[in-house]
Amino acid sequence: MPRRYLSWMVAAAAASKTIIEVTVVGKDRKGVVADITNFIFQNGGNIEKINQNVVRGLFGMQLEASFVQAKRKDLDAGLKDLAKKLQMEIKVHYQEPDRLRNVAILVSKEPHCIKRILAGRKKGEIKANLAVVIGSEPSLKPVADEAGIPFHSVSHADQAEAERNILDLIEKYNVDLIVLARYMRILTPNFVWRYPNRIINIHPSLLPAFPGAYAYVQAYERGAKIVGCTAHFVTEDLDQGPIICQESFKVSDSDTLDTIKKKGQELEAETLFEAVRLYLEGRLEVYWGKVLVHD
Amino acid sequence: MPRRYLSWMVAAAAASKTIIEVTVVGKDRKGVVADITNFIFQNGGNIEKINQNVVRGLFGMQLEASFVQAKRKDLDAGLKDLAKKLQMEIKVHYQEPDRLRNVAILVSKEPHCIKRILAGRKKGEIKANLAVVIGSEPSLKPVADEAGIPFHSVSHADQAEAERNILDLIEKYNVDLIVLARYMRILTPNFVWRYPNRIINIHPSLLPAFPGAYAYVQAYERGAKIVGCTAHFVTEDLDQGPIICQESFKVSDSDTLDTIKKKGQELEAETLFEAVRLYLEGRLEVYWGKVLVHD
Amino acid sequence: MPRRYLSWMVAAAAASKTIIEVTVVGKDRKGVVADITNFIFQNGGNIEKINQNVVRGLFGMQLEASFVQAKRKDLDAGLKDLAKKLQMEIKVHYQEPDRLRNVAILVSKEPHCIKRILAGRKKGEIKANLAVVIGSEPSLKPVADEAGIPFHSVSHADQAEAERNILDLIEKYNVDLIVLARYMRILTPNFVWRYPNRIINIHPSLLPAFPGAYAYVQAYERGAKIVGCTAHFVTEDLDQGPIICQESFKVSDSDTLDTIKKKGQELEAETLFEAVRLYLEGRLEVYWGKVLVHD
Amino acid sequence: MPRRYLSWMVAAAAASKTIIEVTVVGKDRKGVVADITNFIFQNGGNIEKINQNVVRGLFGMQLEASFVQAKRKDLDAGLKDLAKKLQMEIKVHYQEPDRLRNVAILVSKEPHCIKRILAGRKKGEIKANLAVVIGSEPSLKPVADEAGIPFHSVSHADQAEAERNILDLIEKYNVDLIVLARYMRILTPNFVWRYPNRIINIHPSLLPAFPGAYAYVQAYERGAKIVGCTAHFVTEDLDQGPIICQESFKVSDSDTLDTIKKKGQELEAETLFEAVRLYLEGRLEVYWGKVLVHD
pLDDT (tens digit per residue) in D65-81:
999 887 889 999 999 99
Spatial CB neighbours of B156, under 8 Å, sequence gap ≥ 6: B136, B137, B162, B185
The answer to whether residue B46 neighbours chain A at the CB level (below 8 Å) is yes
| C251/A40 Cα distance (integer angstroms) | 40
Instruction: Compute the average pLDDT of residues D118-123.
Output: 97
What are the φ/ψ torsions at residue B142 (nearest 5 degrees)? -55, -35
With CA atoms as reference, the chain A residue closest to C216 would be A56
Note the pLDDT of residue D13.
52
In a 13 Å sphere around the CA of A243, the CA atoms on its Cβ side amount to 24
Of the listed ranges C275-279, D141-145, D155-159, D172-176, the least confidently predicted one is: D155-159
Return the bridge partners of C21, or none.
Answer: C64, C93
Note the pLDDT of residue B97.
75
Query: Which has more pLDDT, C83 or A159?
Result: C83
The answer to whether residue D226 neighbours chain A at the CB level (below 8 Å) is yes
Chain C hits for D30, CB-CB cut-off 8 Å, are 8, 11, 48
For strand A151-153 and strand A129-135, is the pairing parallel, antiparallel, or unpaired? parallel
pLDDT at D284 over 80: yes
Instruction: Compute the average pLDDT of residues C161-190.
Output: 95
Helix (H, G, I), strand (E, B) or coil at A205: coil
Chain D hits for B217, CB-CB cut-off 8 Å, are 56
Strand order in the sheet with C177-180: C151-153, C129-135, C102-107, C177-180, C199-203, C226-233, C243-250
| B70/B82 Cα distance (integer angstroms) | 18
Average pLDDT, chain D: 91
Question: pLDDT confidence of C245, banded at 50, 70, 90?
Answer: very high
**CATH classification at residue D266:** 3.40.50.170
* Same structural domain, D61 and D156: no
In a 13 Å sphere around the CA of D23, the CA atoms on its Cβ side amount to 15
* Same structural domain, C87 and C118: no
* Same structural domain, C69 and C122: no
Residue D281 CB: number of other CB atoms within 10 A? 12
Note the pLDDT of residue C70.
79
| D276/B48 Cα distance (integer angstroms) | 59
* Same structural domain, C60 and C173: no
Question: pLDDT confidence of D237, banded at 50, 70, 90?
Answer: confident
| B21/B63 Cα distance (integer angstroms) | 6
The answer to whether residue D217 neighbours chain A at the CB level (below 8 Å) is no
D197-234 confidence digits (pLDDT tens): 999 999 999 999 999 888 999 999 999 999 999 999 99
* Same structural domain, C186 and C86: no
C193-204 confidence digits (pLDDT tens): 999 999 999 999
| B271/C225 Cα distance (integer angstroms) | 12
Q: Is C158 a catalytic residue?
A: no
Question: pLDDT confidence of D2, banded at 50, 70, 90?
Answer: very low
The answer to whether residue C292 neighbours chain B at the CB level (below 8 Å) is yes
Helix (H) and strand (E) counts in chain B = 9, 13
Tell me, what amino acid is at C109? K
C1 Cα to chain A: minimum distance (Å): 41
pLDDT at A6 over 50: no
* Same structural domain, A197 and A281: yes
Give yes or no for a cis peptide into A111 (omega within 30° of 0).
no
CB contact under 8 A, C55 and A217: no
* Same structural domain, A43 and A70: yes
Which pairs count as long-range contacts for D122-126, CB under 8 Å and 24+ apart, including other chains? D125/D273, D125/D277, D126/D273, D126/D276, D126/D277, D126/D280
pLDDT at A13 over 60: no
Instruction: Compute the average pLDDT of residues D260-281.
Output: 97
Query: D51: buried, middle or exposed (CB in 10 Å: 19+, 13-18, 0-12)?
Result: middle
D123-150 confidence digits (pLDDT tens): 999 999 999 999 999 999 999 999 999 9
Element (H, E) at C116: helix C112-122
Residue D145 structural domain: 102-293
CB contact under 8 A, A224 and D246: yes
Q: Where does a domain end: D94, D123, D145?
A: D94
Chain C hits for D63, CB-CB cut-off 8 Å, are none
Q: How many structural domains comprise chain B?
A: 2
* Same structural domain, A50 and A152: no
| D66/D47 Cα distance (integer angstroms) | 7
D17-38 confidence digits (pLDDT tens): 888 999 999 998 888 999 999 9
What DSSP state is assigned to residue B276?
Answer: H
CB contact under 8 A, D243 and A223: yes
What do you get for the CA distance between the two ends of chain C, in Å?
Answer: 6
CB contact under 8 A, A217 and C56: yes
What are the φ/ψ torsions at residue B102 (nearest 5 degrees)? -95, 130
Q: Where does a domain end: D94, D117, D141?
A: D94
C13 Cα to chain D: minimum distance (Å): 15
Give yes or no for a cis peptide into A196 (omega within 30° of 0).
no
User: ∠ at Cα C151 (C149, C154), nearest 5°?
Assistant: 160
Contact B23, B60 (CB under 8 A): yes
Return the bridge partners of B173, or none.
Answer: none
- The catalytic residues of B are 239
* Same structural domain, B148 and B13: no
**B97-128 core/surface letters (b: 16 or more CB in 10 A; e: else):** eeeebbbbbbbbebbbbbbbbbebbeeeebeb
The answer to whether residue A55 neighbours chain C at the CB level (below 8 Å) is yes
Name residues of chain B where pLDDT drops below 70. Answer: 1-16
Instruction: Compute the average pLDDT of residues A127-141.
Output: 97
Chain B hits for D213, CB-CB cut-off 8 Å, are none
Spatial CB neighbours of C189, under 8 Å, sequence gap ≥ 6: C53, C55, C58, C60, C236
CB contact under 8 A, D5 and A253: yes
Note the pLDDT of residue A11.
52
Query: Which has more pLDDT, B253 or D15?
Result: B253
Note the pLDDT of residue B15.
59
The answer to whether residue B83 neighbours chain A at the CB level (below 8 Å) is no
Note the pLDDT of residue C94.
87
* Same structural domain, C84 and C162: no
Q: Where does a domain end: C70, C94, C118?
A: C94
| D86/C110 Cα distance (integer angstroms) | 51
Note the pLDDT of residue D91.
93
**CATH classification at residue C30:** 3.30.70.260
Among A71-75, C113-117, D54-58, top mean pLDDT goes to C113-117
- Sign of the alpha-carbon dihedral angle for B115, B120, B126, B131: positive
Chain C hits for A221, CB-CB cut-off 8 Å, are 55-56
* Same structural domain, B153 and B261: yes
| B42/B37 Cα distance (integer angstroms) | 9
Query: A88: buried, middle or exposed (CB in 10 Å: 19+, 13-18, 0-12)?
Result: buried
Where helices occur in chain A by DSSP H, the ranges are 8-14, 32-42, 72-86, 112-122, 141-147, 159-172, 189-192, 215-222, 257-280
Contact D285, D279 (CB under 8 A): no
* Same structural domain, C176 and C216: yes
Note the pLDDT of residue A96.
79
The answer to whether residue D238 neighbours chain B at the CB level (below 8 Å) is no
pLDDT at C246 over 90: yes
For strand B284-287 and strand B290-293, is the pairing parallel, antiparallel, or unpaired? antiparallel
